[in-house]
Structure 1
C-alpha cells in the first residue's frame, strides 16, 4: 500500500541550481569526461564516500545489489521523504524477508558524479549493519545504479575507482588483459569460469560480488559434482546477509580458472543450503566470485557492452589464507580506557627543561572512549575454543599491543598468520581480566583417530 508521509531521516535539500536535463534515475558527470575517487579497502571490501540529499555517508560498492540500500540509521540523522512505499527485501541468510521503505527522487553524489532522481531502499532493522564487521561507519550499499551509467575502472592496489563517460572512453591496447562476456539477472553481473575439484574440471556460472570479502562461493550440487565432501573442510561462520547469518563449509579447491588466468589452492566456501535457497533459484548459477579474488586484478566493468576486462596486479600471487584462530571479532560499542599522558619536563620554577635538571613532574591520565572488539563466534575445535575463549569476551590486548590502538582488520590479520605463531590475548569477561595463549593451527589438520 502506498502512502505519503514525512520522515525525519536526513536533511532534504532541493538544489534548484542543478540542471534537471539529466535523464531521470541516471548518474552523470556535469562538464567532465571522467572522475577519480579514492576508496578505503577494508577486509577486501570497497568503501566509498557517498552524499545523499546533502549528507555525507559511506557505502559499500557491491555488484551483487541492484538499487541502493540504506541502513545503520541513528536518531541524529534526519531526512524528509515523500511518496514512500513499504516493501520486503530478501538476501542471503537463514532468516526471513526484511521490511524496507522505497523512496524516489533522492539526490546522490559520488565524487563528481550526480544523480538527481535516485530510487533508494531504506532498512530500519538494526541487525543489518556492516559497521561492527568492518570497524568503520558504513551506512549502505550501492551497485548497479552506479555501474550502469559509466565504464568503471577499479584499481585495488592504488585504492582508486575511475568513472568514465562511455561516449568518450577508449580502450587501451593490453596484451596481458583478458575480456569476458557478462550476463545479467536482476541487474546483477555473472561470468563463466572453471573450477578444479579433485580430478574434475567443471564449468561454473558465478555472480560477480564485490560485496563479499571471501574468494569463492560454490553452491553444492551432487548432480554437477560440486561438493566439499571430497576435500578437507571445516564448518564456519561465513558472514551476514540481508536475511541473516550464513554458515557453511570452508575448504580449498585445486584451481580456479578465468580463461588464461589460473589461481591455485583457492579458498572456497560452500554455504548451507538454507541460506541460499532463494539464490539457487537463478537458473545455472553455481556460486559467487568475490573480492579476495577480484582484488588480484585491475578491473574494467562495462555493463552496457556486457563485458569485463581483467589484468593481473601485484596481489595476484598472494597466498590464500584462512583465519587460523577460530575467532570472529566485531566492534560492539566502546570501552572506557584510562591512558597515561606524558607531561612536559619542567624545572622547579615551572619552566620547560629539556636537560632534565631538577625535574618536578606529576603523572597524569586521561579517560576516553575506545572501540570495543568483541568475540561473536568461536569455531568448534579451533585453537581459540581449546584455549577457553567464549562468545562475548572483549579483547583488551593482542601480543602486547592494546586492541584499541589497532584497526579491526589489523587485529583479524594477526589471526591469519603462519601456522605455529603464538597469539597472546588479554580479554575481559564480566568483571574479570583473563590472559589466554594459543598457537595458530592448520585449519585442515587431519584429526587423529582414537586408539
Structure 2
C-alpha cells in the first residue's frame, strides 16, 4: 500500500471515529482540553447551573445524581423553546400514587458553557409538580441527571462553587488528600457504602444513594431493614419536595456517619413515611441516601466510568448540623418579587406558641423587608443560635381576598427541637 493510500485511510478513520463520537448521546468538552471549570450557584448546597437548550436563552437547571433522565418542568416552557415531542407517557410520583403526565423530546442540545450535552432527550412535565422555586427561592426550570456523569469524572467543589468536568479517562490518578471509595452505578444511579452509628439501634453498613439534588443530610428508609431504628428524640416534619408532592416523615439524629474514615457527628437524619414507592426502594438494596446537607460539607469527585468516588473534607465539614429552631416552614411565591409566606407551622414550636398561622405573609425580618432576603439566608437565620430573637412583621389575609388583611408584629425566640 502506498504512503498516499495509508494517509487517505488514516484520514478516513479519524473522520469516521469523529462522526461516531458526535452521534453518541452524552456531555462533551467543546474544546480540546483535559478538563474545564463550570461555575455554579449554590442554594443550600444544591448545584444550579444556567443552561441553554437548542440555542435558546439560558435558564437554571439543577444537577442531580438522584435522577436518570433530564427533566424540564413545564410543557409551556418546552413549547416556547420549540421542542419537538415524539410520545406521551405516565410517570409515578415519589409518593407511589400520584400519576404525572409527560412528553418526551428525544434530540436536543444542552449548552453549559464549556460543555455541551449532545443528542439529549428531555422528559417534559405537562404540569410542574416540583415548584422548586417556592422551596429553594431560586427559579429552577429543570434537572440534568445521569447523562452528565455517565462518561466523565466530575469534581464538585462546594466551597468555591466550581464543577471541574474531565474528558473521559482524564482523571488517571488519585488527587492529593482525597480518599477513595468504591462506587457502584446501578440503573443510572450511584451508590456507596457508609458506616452509621445509630442512637437506638445497631451499627449499620449502609448502601446509600448519592443524591446531589436532595436537600436533606442523611436519609434512612426504615422499611428497607429491621436494623434501622428511630432515635428516642425526633420531630414530625415535611422532608422535602419531590415528583408527586411533599414528602412527610420524621427528623432525628444518628451518633455518627463515617465516609471512608471521615466522621461526621450528630448528623440530622430523615426517616420518611412508608409509601407505595417503598417496594421500588427496597428492590435496589439501598437503606437510604446522602443529600446536599452532608455532601456540601465535602469535596467530591464522582467517576462513574471507573466506579470510584474520591472525597475529602470541605471548609464546613465540622460545622454542627442544626435544624430549624422556629417551627416555621417557609415558601417563596413563584414568579413574584421575593414574597415569602408560611406554608406550615409545627405544633408546639416557638412560632406556633406566638400564634403564627399557615398562609400568613412575612413582611419584614428583623426590620429588614422580606423581599431583600434570599430564602436560603432566612433558613440559615432560623437555625443559627438557640435563644436568638427573630422580630417578624406579618400579614394575615381574610379568606382568599388579598385586599382584606391585618398586619401584626411578633417575636420568635429560637429553640432547639431536635
TM above 0.5:
yes
Matches of 2:145 and 2:340, distance apart in 1: 29
Matches of 2:379 and 2:356, distance apart in 1: 16
Matches of 2:279 and 2:142, distance apart in 1: 22
Structure 1: gaps spanning 5 or more residues: 1-17, 336-369, 445-451
Match of 2:391 in 1: 424
Match of 2:32 in 1: 32
Greater Rg over alpha carbons, structure: 1
Residues 48 and 310 of structure 1: is their aligned pair in 2 closer, same or farther, counting only changes over 3 Å?
A: same
Matches of 1:123 and 1:76, distance apart in 2: 9
Tell me, yes or no, if structure 1 residue 408 matches structure 2 residue 408. no
Tell me, yes or no, if structure 1 residue 112 matches structure 2 residue 114. yes
Matches of 2:183 and 2:92, distance apart in 1: 24
- Which residues of 2 match residues 76-87 of structure 1 at below 5 A? 78-87=80-89
How far the C-alpha of 1:407 sits from its partner, in A, is 0.9
Matches of 1:283 and 1:137, distance apart in 2: 32
Match of 2:156 in 1: 154
Structure 1 stretch displaced more, 429-438 or 262-271: 429-438
Query: SS in structure 2 opposite 1:293?
Result: helix
Is the contact made by 1:20 and 1:116 (CA closer than 8 Å) also made in structure 2? no
* Coordinate RMSD, CA, aligned: 2.1
Match of 1:307 in 2: 308
Query: SS in structure 2 opposite 1:292?
Result: helix
Matches of 2:373 and 2:351, distance apart in 1: 20
Residues 242 and 253 of structure 1: is their aligned pair in 2 closer, same or farther, counting only changes over 3 Å?
A: same
Match of 1:213 in 2: 215
Structure 2: gaps spanning 5 or more residues: 1-17, 398-404
Match of 1:13 in 2: none
Give a deviation string over 1:368-397, Cα, whole Å, max 9, x none. xx3210111111211111111111111000
Match of 2:60 in 1: 58
Tell me, yes or no, if structure 1 residue 398 matches structure 2 residue 365. yes
What TM-score do you get using the length of structure 2 for normalisation?
0.89
Match of 2:328 in 1: 327
Matches of 1:109 and 1:289, distance apart in 2: 28
Query: SS in structure 2 opposite 1:51?
Result: strand
Match of 2:292 in 1: 291
**Structure 2 residue aligned with 1:386, among 353, 356, 375?**
353
Give a deviation string over 1:212-265, Cα, whole Å, max 9, x none. 11110001149532021x420000011111021101010011011112111110
How far the C-alpha of 1:414 sits from its partner, in A, is 1.3
Structure 1 stretch displaced more, 80-89 or 46-55: 80-89
Is the contact made by 1:373 and 1:403 (CA closer than 8 Å) also made in structure 2? yes
Is the contact made by 1:329 and 1:376 (CA closer than 8 Å) also made in structure 2? yes
Matches of 2:77 and 2:304, distance apart in 1: 37
How far the C-alpha of 1:441 sits from its partner, in A, is 1.1
Query: SS in structure 2 opposite 1:250?
Result: strand
4+ runs deviating over 6 angstroms: none
- Which residues of 2 match residues 167-186 of structure 1 at below 5 A? 167-174=169-176, 176-186=177-187
Matches of 1:60 and 1:83, distance apart in 2: 22
How far the C-alpha of 1:146 sits from its partner, in A, is 0.5
Give a deviation string over 1:100-155, Cα, whole Å, max 9, x none. 11111111111221233111100021332211112121000112110112110100
Is the contact made by 2:41 and 2:48 (CA closer than 8 Å) also made in structure 1? yes
How far the C-alpha of 1:284 sits from its partner, in A, is 1.8
Matches of 2:129 and 2:172, distance apart in 1: 44
